[in-house]
Amino acid sequence: MPRRGDLDPIEIPLLLPNIMLVDVEEPRRFRYRLIGTDCAQSHGFDATGRYLDEVLRDMAYRTFVIALYEECVAKRRPIYSETLFASERIGAAGRHVRVAFMPLSEDGERVNMVFVAQHVSFPDRMMRATATSSKPARSRKLRTTCCEAETPIFYLTYSSVQSPS
């Protein structure tokens, strides 16, 4: 299993905006150590230093995401997941999020960090325009749309974690 030191940011400069490093703490809790700029923008805020269970508001989605991290850690293997979110504002698919969770270990046995690569796409042109705008007013709308007014409507995971019903 790779160590954190095996990842050299110089070798993956184009991925940096789309990655997260998540600490695995005991008793079991997951804390964002680093969040790439595109990840922060797509979520509407930078959660660096915060715990997943504090940031993810929707209980079913929080349970689902934490289960993905738990499986990645317990089985010491990568996990791939996709989620489609519905936007209440536009009444259609707002975001399509694809995520790979990859375990890291300092001792080769216990997973102490998860390397996360995330890709977010916006199926709806209106959402894409809102999300990619650099104007502050639109960024505020993105925060509301992506974090508070969205509902996960579709989950696809290549793992044994069950999607919430």
Residue 6, domain member (yes or no): no
Estimate the share of the chain in helix, then strand, then coil, as percent rounded to the nearest 5: 35, 35, 30
Q: How far is C-alpha 116 from the geometric centre of its chain's CA atoms?
A: 7
Residue 5, domain member (yes or no): no
Residue 32, domain member (yes or no): yes
Domain containing 19 — which CATH number? 3.30.450.20
Evaluate whether 54 touches 64 at the Cβ level (below 8 Å): no
Question: What whole-number distance in Å separates Cα of residue 122 and Cα of residue 100?
Answer: 18
More confident residue, 61 or 86: 61
pLDDT band at residue 149 using 50, 70 and 90 as cut-offs: very low
Residue 3, domain member (yes or no): no
**Residue 104's domain spans which residues?**
12-151
Write down the mean pLDDT value for the chain.
Answer: 78
**Can you give the pLDDT at residue 42?**
79
Domain count, the chain: 1
Residue 68, domain member (yes or no): yes
Residue 157, domain member (yes or no): no
